[in-house]
Structure 1
Amino acid sequence: MKRKLILDVDTGTDDAVAIMLAALHEDLDLIGVTTVNGNAELHYCTDNSLRVLDYIGKPEIPVYAGCPKPLVRNDFPIPRTKNDLTEKIHGKHLPLPETALKAQKQHAVEYLVETYRNATDPITLVPVAPLTNIAAALAVEPKLVDLIPEVVIMGGGHDVGNVTPAAEFNIWADPEAAYAVFNAGFEKLTMVPLDATHKALVTATQCRQFDELGTPAGKAMAACTGHRIGIHDKIQKMDVEHSAPVHDALCIAHLIQPEVITLEECPVDIETQGALTVGRTVVDKNRRGGKPVNCKVAFDANAQLFVDIMMDTFAKNK
């Protein structure tokens, strides 16, 4: 039986790859996509998600627009700076054709609550965006913590930040929501942070190979990731020359082949107050905080396996 999942996204370039991998892999059943404010304003993230699904021939997968701003803050926790990579890496519109597809009328939070209340099969929840929708759904229905069998989050960083020296973007963008989710008590919670995604890099040469597949997914992968590589080369060079992380897709690869990442059980909490550290994921590797383990954290990844999973999947999308 295929593994059912819901993807919660703020679709920019790496979310697009995650959507394609989840929608096209033969072992997965992407039953819905929910969108949230993040890489761009909500309506852009929603439109980009619809563009991806239309382009790869999966228009039947429904998209639900969610929360347009963080739970508590009127805007992001701190002003964006001229060094912020978000707009440079993602922009507003993906480099994909416009679509006539429309989002569902139901709000994403309502969809999440209703779907899990009525589920008869396990549905993995994969948030790869600010956690606003998930925290809001938990506030509406606290029983979701027992109804959702597994949560796999792309977000956070232990040794690596990307929007501030201390914080990764998805957690920084709504730290109160992240705090609620990480402290909710999910039985099976996995965090895939920058520490892992920066070890699962895609190179410019591999991008050309994706493009040469000639499939819609291969071409979209090449366009989105090629753009990412160009920006990283200019502003934030990776350890591997002419490469970039494709953060969100690594969560989907983990559902397909768990060994693509290496996990360690840790207590994880979220900083919501620190002037220099707001949005930091505090990963207590040395068990100094006295809190129980609540999360499995990925500290390493197999870059070649990650690329192979995507290459094999996107080659079949004729």
Structure 2
Amino acid sequence: MKRKLILDVDTGTDDAVAIMLAALHEDLDLVGITTVNGNAEVHYCTDNSLRVLDWIGKPEIPVHEGCFKPLVRNDFPVPRSKGDLTEKIHGKHLPLPETSLKAQEQHAIEYLVETYRNTTDPITLVPTAPLTNIAAALAVEPKLVDLIPEVVIMGGGHDVGNITPSAEFNIWADPEAAHAVFNAGFEKLTLVPLDATHKALITATQCRQFQQLGTPAGTAMADCTAHRIGVHDKIQRMDIEHSAPVHDAVCVAYLIQPEVITLERYPVDIETQGALTVGRTVVDKAHRGTRPDNCNVAFDANAALFVDIMMKTFAKTA
């Protein structure tokens, strides 16, 4: 039986790869996509998601647009650090043709609540974006904590930040929402932070190999990731020369082959107050606090396996 999932995305270059992997892999059933304000304003994220689905021949997968701003903060988008990585690495539009596909009328929050209330099958929720939609859905229906079998989040960083010295973008963009999700009481909460995704790098050589596949997914993967590599080389150079992380796709690869990441269980919470640390994902690796373990956290990833999963999947057409 295929594993069902819903992707909650702010579709830029790495969300696009996650969508393609989830939509095309034979072991997964991408039930739907919800979009949220993040890498760009939400309407761009929705349009990009639809472009991806159209490009790879999966127009039947529904896209539901969600929240256009964070739960509490009214200052988004806000001035970022000099040479903002998020704007440069994603932009507004993906390098894919325009599409005539349209989003569903139903709002993402309604879709999430109704889907989980009515389903008889387990559906994994995979947010790879700011957690605004998820926190809002929990506020509407607290029983989602019991109805969602696993939440797999791309976000946060213990030793690595990418938007401030202490915070990763997805958590920083709506820390109050992230705090609500991490404290909601999900039985199975899995976090894939920058610590793991920076160990699953894609190189320029591998980009050319994806391009040579000649499939829609292969060429889109190559184009999106080559752009990411160019930006990282200039702004945030990786340990491997001419390479870049494709963060969000690691979460989807985990659903296909869990051994692609190495998980450890820790207490995790989100800083919402600190002047220097707002949006920091606090992982209590030394168990110095009093909070119980609430999250499975990935600190390592198997880059070769990650690439192999995508290469085999993107070699096929829809």
SS in 2 for 1:181: helix
The residue that corresponds to 2:269 in the other structure is 269
1:89 maps to 89
| Contact map agreement 1:158 1:193 (CA 8 A) in 2 | yes
* 3-state SS in 2 of match to 1:64: strand
Question: 1:224 offset after TM fit, Å?
Answer: 0.3
Partner residue, 1:216: 216
- In structure 1, the partner of 2:193 is 193
Instruction: Tell me the amino acid that sits aligned with residue 105 of structure 1.
Output: E
2:124·2:148 contact (CA, 8 Å) conserved in 1?
A: yes
Which residue of the partner structure matches residue 50 of structure 2?
A: 50
Task: Specify the SS of the correspondent of 1:33.
Answer: strand
C-alpha distance in 2 between matches for 1:121 and 1:239 = 41
Alignment of 1:1-318 (within 5 A): 1-76=1-76, 79-317=79-317
2-side partners of 1:295 and 1:183: how far apart? 10
Q: How far apart, in 1, do the equivalents of 2:42 and 2:78 lie?
A: 19
Moved more, 77-86 or 260-269: 77-86
Query: Secondary structure of the residue that 1:111 maps to in structure 2?
Result: helix
Residue 289 of structure 1: CA displacement? 1.0
Q: In the TM superposition, what whole-angstrom CA distance separates every residue of 1:81-128 from its partner, at most 9, and x where no partner exists?
A: 222200100000000000000000000000000000001000000000
Distance 2:53 2:8 in 1: 14
Q: Distance in 2 between matches of 1:241 and 1:289?
A: 38
Q: How many residues align?
A: 318
Moved over 4 A (4+): none
Unaligned runs of 5+ residues in structure 1 are none
> Shift of residue 305 of structure 1?
0.4
The structural deviation recorded for 1:317 is 1.7
Provide the rounded CA distance (Å) in 1 between the counterparts of 2:225 and 2:248.
12
CA distance in 2, matches of 1:282, 1:77: 24
Distance (whole Å) between structure 2 residues aligned to residue 271 and residue 184 of structure 1? 15
User: What does the per-residue CA deviation read over 1:162-207, in whole Å, with 9 as the maximum and x for residues that have no partner?
Assistant: 0000000000000000000000000000000000000000000000
Answer whether contact 1:254 1:261 (CA < 8 A) is retained.
yes
CA contact (8 A) 1:203 1:243 kept: yes
Q: Aligned AA for 1:304? A: A
Structure 1 distance, partners of 2:80, 2:207, is 30
Which residue identity does 2:109 align to in structure 1? Answer: V
Q: 8 Å contact 2:160–2:195 — kept in the other structure?
A: yes
- 2:232 and 2:66 mapped to 1: Cα distance? 29
Instruction: Give the 3-state SS of the residue equivalent to 2:49 in structure 1.
Output: helix
The CA distance in 2 between the partners of 1:300 and 1:75, in whole Å, is 34
Give me the CA root mean square deviation: 0.8
Name the amino acid aligned to 2:218: G
- Does the Cα contact within 8 Å between 2:81 and 2:164 map onto a contact in 1? no
**Separation in 2, partners of 1:32, 1:145:** 19
Q: For residue 236 of structure 1, what is the amino acid of its counterpart?
A: Q
- Report if the CA contact (8 A) 2:132-2:177 is conserved: yes
Which SS does the other structure have where 1:15 is aligned? Answer: helix
Which residue identity lines up with residue 214 of structure 1 in the other structure?
G
Query: Does the 8 Å CA contact 1:264/1:298 hold for their aligned counterparts?
Result: yes
Please tell me the residue identity of whatever aligns with 2:196. Answer: A
SS in 2 for 1:73: coil
- 1:26 match: secondary structure: coil
Deviation of 1:54 (Å): 0.2
Report the Cα offset of residue 77 of structure 1.
Answer: 8.6
